[in-house]
Amino acid sequence: MDNAWLFNDGREPRPSRARFGYTPRSMRRSTPGLLGAHELVDARIVRAEAHDPETVVRALEPLVTEARCARLREIIGRRLASVSVVFDSPYDPHNGAAVVRSCEAFGVQQLHIVERPGTPFAMARSVARGAEKWIDVACHTAAPTVIAWARARSIPLVATHPDGELSPDDLARMPRVGVVLGNEREGIHAELALACTARVRVPMRGFVESLNVSVTAAILLHAATQGRQGDLDPATQRRLYARGLYLSVPHAEDVVVAMLGHSP
């Protein structure tokens, strides 16, 4: 992936009518600070990733403390491409934000969203707490494109299900896995469910039969990432390192442009 937020139909980030809780043809709850899919990407990231990562690193690394640089390299070095998440038709922006935050917390770099028809993905800023700046999110208008993405990379999709044959610990033993989450109302839709090669359950002892989708995501990602070493490719690591430097330096764009202007 070349950008923090991608759309399978080539759309660019732009203002969304979902801002401030207004979403056409939707009963989605009104939430202050609600971010629609086209405005989730931080403008600084858009500017940063318009430049070659090496250019950004050369310009900004000398301005960042060694401790900060080391921290960026450490965190990025632990991030994972071998575990990813597919979230089918999310409804609640709080849950969407919580899943984004769980992905970032457990070092899962890629989150794929299959959007609800007529309702672009949105999340609550107050819940995400900036996690969206550090992961890559791809929004799909329909399931076939995310299924094709997984098949092209030989990533088995595993559906969450109360009667799943796998336990959370089994996910850690899979070389690669895409954890598929259903939405809060309909679960995983048939087309995506049929593309899954297995199902995973969260064992419970109480009377309830299911957990909130964001809780399920956190439990499964904690299990799936256990014992894994960071496995992002070098180019992705460098892109994220450049992003981290850019977000760390005030007026970073001015610094980068000034360096480019003095380049031979």
Give the pTM: 0.83
Report domain extents, the chain: 5-41+80-231
Strands 157-160 and 136-140: unpaired
Instruction: Kindly list the strands in the beta sheet with 198-200, ordered across the sheet, starting from the edge strand earlier in the chain.
Output: 5-7, 136-140, 108-114, 80-88, 177-181, 157-160, 198-200
202's CB contacts (< 8 A; 6+ apart) are 160, 168, 211, 216, 219, 220
| Alpha carbons 10 and 8: distance in angstroms, whole number | 6
The pLDDT of residue 65: 97
Average pLDDT per block of 10 residues along the chain, 264 residues long: 46 39 41 57 80 95 97 97 96 89 96 89 78 90 96 97 96 98 89 97 90 94 98 97 95 90 60
For the domain bounded by 5-41+80-231, which CATH number is listed? 3.40.1280.10
Q: What is the pLDDT of residue 2?
A: 43
pLDDT of residue 124: 79
